[in-house]
Amino acid sequence: MLTGRILKGIGGFYYVNVQGKTIQCKARGIFKKDGITPMTGDLVRINSEEENTWIEEIYPRKNSLVRPAVANIDLLVVVVAVTPSPQLALVDKMLVTASAKNIPACLCVNKIDLGKCPEIEKIYQDAGYKVFVTSAIDNTGINKLSEYLKDKFTAFAGNSGVGKSSVLNSITGKTLETGGLSQKISRGKHTTRHVELIELECGGYVFDTPGFSSYELSDIKAADLSKHFPEFESSIGKCKFSDCAHIKETGCDVIARVQSGEISASRHEHYCDLYNQLKLIKDWE
């Protein structure tokens, strides 16, 4: 038996990297019977004796996302552009999703050749995130970001038009096929129909995906949302009420820190919006 990682899956075939060699194989029918679908990024055990090679076992995943189906992500790079108006509410939703899925995340502030936006850097650095400032046009910051991806399995996420594909092309040295976003239905129109791991020259891989169409907040309970805002951590145990929701409660340490400027007002506003959305999701458990 051999152990490797799925690089891509196309038409029922899976391409597994085993010690630098790519092996084409299929998945055993037992996976379909059990409702399990192999994902790009999965660590798997394959046979090495039969004429037809099969995936025999999928090892436990440390994390996974559904759309697109990717597993075992070491880092999520959330990309935001300085222009047009940065959609920081979506950025915060992505960061919460990553935290809930146990995926470390950082921020890439792109298109700085079109303007500066130091307040975005400050907001997220103060919140505890690593921030990279880039321009794919003149390669500003690309080397620093590439170095940070070394030896990691990295996925990129961001709204349409923020320059994800340009940054990825600069990092990989390849032209990866991506597409725009339908303004009417807000779903990615893309030419890439499968997820693939692309090897980086500096070491590591990036997931070449058609884009993230879902940020799965439904798995998070409103009462647990504050755990996914790292800047709230130092307020634990300091609020007047032990079950403080950090929305408008008297004696809330988080609100006091927002008022003093220690915590970003926009981050807290987005937290409140997400909290209220989650409160509307009925907990059937």
Q: How crowded is residue 62: how many other Cβ atoms within 10 Å of its Cβ? A: 14
- Average pLDDT of the residues in 246-268: 97
Rounded to 5°, angle at Cα 151 from 149 and 154: 50
- Residue among 217, 209, 222, 139 nearest 173 (CA): 139
Range from 26-30, 181-185, 189-193 carrying the lowest mean pLDDT: 181-185
As a whole-number percent, the residues of the chain with pLDDT over 90 amount to: 65
Beta bridge partners of 40: 70
Q: What phi, psi does 118 have (nearest 5°)? A: -65, -25
- Average pLDDT of the residues in 42-52: 86
Q: Mind listing the pLDDT tens digit for each residue in 112-154? A: 888 878 899 999 999 999 999 999 888 899 999 999 999 999 9
pLDDT band with cut points at 50, 70 and 90 for residue 66 = confident
Integer angstrom CA distances of residue 135 from 56, 76, 116, 143, 209: 44, 19, 11, 11, 21
The mean predicted confidence, pLDDT, of the chain is: 87
Range from 42-51, 92-101, 134-143, 246-255 carrying the lowest mean pLDDT: 42-51
How are the residues of the chain apportioned to helix, strand and coil, as percentages rounded to the nearest 5? 30, 25, 45
- Residue 88's H or E segment, with its range, is helix 88-100
- Average pLDDT of the residues in 153-173: 88
pLDDT value, residue 160: 80
The pTM of this model reads 0.87
pLDDT value, residue 216: 66
Q: Mind listing the pLDDT tens digit for each residue in 76-90? A: 999 999 887 888 999
pLDDT value, residue 188: 39
* Residue 187 reports pLDDT greater than 50: no
Q: How far is CA 259 from the centre of its chain?
A: 30
- Angle between the 265-279 and 88-100 helix axes, to the nearest 10 degrees? 60
Q: How crowded is residue 237: how many other Cβ atoms within 10 Å of its Cβ? A: 7
Q: Mind listing the pLDDT tens digit for each residue in 197-206? A: 999 988 899 9
Q: How crowded is residue 139: how many other Cβ atoms within 10 Å of its Cβ? A: 10
The token pair that represents 191 in the structure block? 């030419």
C-alpha to C-alpha distance for 249 and 215, rounded to whole angstroms: 28
* Residue 183 reports pLDDT greater than 50: no
Q: How far is CA 163 from the centre of its chain?
A: 16
pLDDT value, residue 14: 95
